[in-house]
Structure 1
Amino acid sequence: MSQPVKSARTPRSSRASSPDGESAGSRRAAAQRLSMRRKLAAAAMELFASKGYEATTVDEIAAAAGVARRTFFRHFRSKEEAIFPDHDDTLVRAEAVLEAAPPHENPLDTVCRGVKEVLRMYAGSPAVSVERYRLTRQVPALREAEIASVARYERLFTRYLLGHFDERATRDGDDDPLLAEVAASAVVTAHNHVLRRWLRAGGQGDVEAQLDHAFAIVRETFSASIMGVGRPGGERGPAATASVEGEVLVTVARTDAPLEQVMRTIEQALKKR
């Protein structure tokens, strides 16, 4: 929310926006909003841990955070939402990754990059994430709120994959929507599997490397079906192909193909020898 203009002679520099169109006032307001949400979340988690979820009231959470009850409800609709302060902002960041994807990138790779925004939210505060995981395992209402949040990500990624299938493939049937949903679910499931294992280990270890390994399995399973997908206005066909002819590996790649994708294509071809 931008700051009110005090007069018509307000210096132009004070109203300037960043290159992406977001004003400095908007960024400050977003930062203040997130800071208050996290403050309320910390108070809620502490009370849930000490008093129990059922015995804790919204008034007590607000008082522990040093704010009024109405302030709490400006940020959360219920007390179970209070321990998930970052999901809304993370969903926006994940969507921004999808919207800014380069035309040559495999849509499945784009979705994997979007899911990483969710992982980084948890990995940014390991101790908080581990405690939140413990609470959600104990309180069904918190678990349901977490499941609802995960479903929002899954819907976002499914819509994205549905929008980047080759329309020509639908002439032979109606499998594209099914494949999009299954692929999006696989990416989210891989993320959740790695995240839960990391949380059960107390937030120890390189969780992003573990997720990359899980994504490699998902890509190997689904990329062949989605490789020919193109974005509107983008090129059709795979960015890279590889085949083994005797003792020779033949690779054909577009000049704009990401090196990582080319190397992955070569690796997959060698495994099939």
Structure 2
Amino acid sequence: MQYVRPMSQPVRSARTLQSTPNRTTDGAETPGSRRAAAQRLKMRRELAAAAMELFAAKGYEATTVDEIAARAGVARRTFFRHFRSKEEAIFPDHDDTLVRAEAVLDAAPPHEHPLDTVCRGIREVMRMYAASPAVSVERYRLTREVTTLREREIASVARYERLFTRYLLGHFDETAHHDGDDDPLLAEVAASAVVTAHNHVLRRWLRAGGQGDVESQLDHAFAIVRDTFGSGIGAGRSAAGEQEPPAATVSRQGEVLVAVARTDAPLGEVMRTIERALRRD
């Protein structure tokens, strides 16, 4: 396993770095760009709400783009400035959520386990759904009934999975990829596991009508993923190629466990080390 901690592993897409009148040349946002983004998202959500109301009242097939635009009080061309089709209209937040997930990966602390970073990134998706439980539950019902919407949702999930796979692959030494090297496979499987764990918790929460402590359920699911894949991906090497000390070590002194941790160690990794030691005992 050739694991490296790159000095910098930006995963931001060209779309988010593109220079615009509301951005500086290095991609930083300006107050104007933030206002424009907020207005854009507000309009997308209004169109999505109109679409959801009409789909519930008339059915998906019987609803037209013109009717959605009219319900939202805008022209047809305004609808198409925000969405390419009516099925896209019920997923107004995915693009912005993907950008936020990318930002989490870009700003990851240097000593954070990459799987922990990916788990924090996908929490942005859960927060998107949890922000409007009633809308999310109704959208879930629609996607179960309409094949086109279900396919659109699957395509959206695939974008997150590709993002996280690229991030995990970025933490392996590219020169070590050769026949018989399983690092690329491990990165893809781990990314898929994070997405699958998230989606399992999300579906269970939606089927329960958006009730329950979804954050603690997500914590539990991610702990399982981390325990399963963490030892392979997290066998850390520094950028200089030197073996990093473990985040924490645990020893037994009589009936007491003594934990010693690096001062820069992520708290979650320290706690998992202690939990594994307790389970062994």
TM-score, with length taken from structure 2: 0.85
Matches within 5 A, 1:49-128: 49-128=56-135
- The alpha-carbon distance between structure 1 residues 54 and 175, as it changes in their structure 2 partners (threshold 3 A), is same
Deviation per CA, 1:37-77: give whole Å up to 9, x if none: 00000011111111111111111111111111111111001
Checking the alignment, whether the CA contact within 8 Å between 1:164 and 1:230 is kept in structure 2 is no
- The alpha-carbon distance between structure 1 residues 120 and 139, as it changes in their structure 2 partners (threshold 3 A), is same
Matches within 5 A, 1:241-256: 241-242=248-249, 247=254, 249=257, 251-256=259-264
Partner of 1:43: 50
1:264 positional shift: 1.2
Checking the alignment, whether the CA contact within 8 Å between 1:108 and 1:223 is kept in structure 2 is yes
- The alpha-carbon distance between structure 1 residues 234 and 69, as it changes in their structure 2 partners (threshold 3 A), is farther
Deviation per CA, 1:226-266: give whole Å up to 9, x if none: 11235757975354243556857565533311223112112
Deviates more, 1:131-140 or 1:171-180: 171-180
- The alpha-carbon distance between structure 1 residues 235 and 257, as it changes in their structure 2 partners (threshold 3 A), is farther
Q: Which amino acid aligns with 1:106?
A: H
- The alpha-carbon distance between structure 1 residues 252 and 138, as it changes in their structure 2 partners (threshold 3 A), is same
- The alpha-carbon distance between structure 1 residues 126 and 242, as it changes in their structure 2 partners (threshold 3 A), is same
> How many equivalent residue pairs?
259
Checking the alignment, whether the CA contact within 8 Å between 1:91 and 1:153 is kept in structure 2 is yes
Checking the alignment, whether the CA contact within 8 Å between 1:164 and 1:231 is kept in structure 2 is no
Checking the alignment, whether the CA contact within 8 Å between 2:247 and 2:266 is kept in structure 1 is no
Question: Does 2:201 correspond to 1:194?
Answer: yes
Give unpaired runs (5+ residues) of structure 2: 1-19
Checking the alignment, whether the CA contact within 8 Å between 1:164 and 1:229 is kept in structure 2 is no
Checking the alignment, whether the CA contact within 8 Å between 1:95 and 1:114 is kept in structure 2 is yes
CA RMSD of aligned residues (A): 2.4
Deviation per CA, 1:141-164: give whole Å up to 9, x if none: 000000000000000000000001
1:165 positional shift: 2.2
Q: Which amino acid aligns with 1:46?
A: E
Q: Secondary structure at the match of 2:119?
A: helix
Checking the alignment, whether the CA contact within 8 Å between 2:111 and 2:265 is kept in structure 1 is yes
Partner of 2:270: 262
1:209 positional shift: 1.0
Checking the alignment, whether the CA contact within 8 Å between 1:166 and 1:229 is kept in structure 2 is no
Checking the alignment, whether the CA contact within 8 Å between 1:244 and 1:270 is kept in structure 2 is no
Deviates more, 1:252-261 or 1:145-154: 252-261
Q: Secondary structure at the match of 2:112?
A: coil
Checking the alignment, whether the CA contact within 8 Å between 1:240 and 1:251 is kept in structure 2 is no
- The alpha-carbon distance between structure 1 residues 222 and 165, as it changes in their structure 2 partners (threshold 3 A), is same
1:159 to 157, 163, 166: 166
Q: Secondary structure at the match of 1:256?
A: coil
1: CA distance, partners of 2:29 / 2:266: 30
Identity percentage of aligned residues = 79
Partner of 2:12: none
Q: Which amino acid aligns with 2:42?
A: S
Matches within 5 A, 1:140-219: 140-166=147-173, 170=177, 173-219=180-226
Structure of greater relative contact order (alpha carbons < 8 Å, 6+ residues apart): 2
Q: Secondary structure at the match of 1:30?
A: helix
Structure 1 segments (4+ residues) deviating >4 Å: 166-172, 230-236, 243-252
- The alpha-carbon distance between structure 1 residues 108 and 235, as it changes in their structure 2 partners (threshold 3 A), is farther
2: CA distance, partners of 1:219 / 1:272: 17
2: CA distance, partners of 1:133 / 1:231: 43
2: CA distance, partners of 1:107 / 1:56: 44
- The alpha-carbon distance between structure 1 residues 47 and 200, as it changes in their structure 2 partners (threshold 3 A), is same
Give unpaired runs (5+ residues) of structure 1: 4-15
Q: Secondary structure at the match of 1:242?
A: strand
Partner of 2:280: 272
